[in-house]
Amino acid sequence: MAVLILLPETRKSWTWRSAVVALAYALCLTSFVLSTKNTTAANAIFLQATAPVYLVLLGPWLLGEKVRSSDWTTLAIVAIGMILVFWDPGEAQALAPNPLLGNWLGALSGLTWALTVCGLRWLSKAQAGSSMTPVLMGNCIGILICLPQMFPLTDIKSNDLWSLAYLGVFQVGLAYWCLTRAMANLGALEASLLIMVEPALNPIWTWWLHGERPTATAIAGGALIIGSALLKSWQDRKNVVD
């Protein structure tokens, strides 16, 4: 968050619009972190990747963006994938002590991520200040939500500090700087679909580094979610070129 504070544009236009988007973003961050603490990282990211389901429903209502017939096909496939992830949450393991609770939190993260994307697009259309402002505000709200769980601070190691620095600079600061820049030129659905590379690689990274093994049903559901989203993104870009 320190990187975001250093950017002048994040300290401008602290309006009610920014606060609404910031709240959705804070809930997205918090629910996703809690999801990864209760279920496998793969399940958490698969369920967050269901954002296109909600964007198909929310886009016309909140942004006035048209929904095409192919969007409904994507919604149906992603919904089936979501059902499969919930169908077999898997047994509790060291890094996933409560898979079912974690799955519900992951679904909430997907919904609030969709609201965040809609909100950033809404701010861009309304030209209501910098889109980076709600990112900083959302991180501040997230800190307040998580503050009771931070104490007491014990046994902090140098590796912990380096990990926090990396996450703050690259995973949050740089990533969302790039994302908010893209919002002015992309629709909400397309913006969400273009981020599908992360969930596609997530099961590989978590298996390799932590030995997490999602259930076969969850992997199948995740493949449907990510595959349909990537296919839809490719089709949209092909239509634009044609």
Please tell me the pTM assigned to this model: 0.73
Task: Kindly state the DSSP code that residue 39 receives in the 8-state scheme.
Answer: S
The C-alpha atoms of residue 78 and residue 47 are separated, in whole angstroms, by 10
Q: Tens digit of pLDDT per residue, the chain (242 long)?
A: 544 555 555 556 677 788 888 999 999 989 998 998 898 888 888 888 888 778 777 877 777 777 777 778 878 888 888 888 888 777 777 778 898 899 999 999 999 988 988 888 887 776 655 667 887 788 888 888 888 877 777 777 788 788 888 877 777 777 767 776 776 676 655 665 666 666 667 777 777 777 777 888 888 888 888 787 777 666 665 555 45
Task: Kindly state the DSSP code that residue 148 receives in the 8-state scheme.
Answer: G
SS3 93: strand
Backbone CA torsion sign across 111, 76, 63, 118: positive
Torsion of CA 232, 235, 237, 240, to 10 degrees: -130
Q: Which residues contact 192 (CB under 8 A, 6 or more apart)?
A: 51, 52, 55, 113, 114, 117, 229
Q: Which residues pair with 96 in a beta bridge?
A: 93
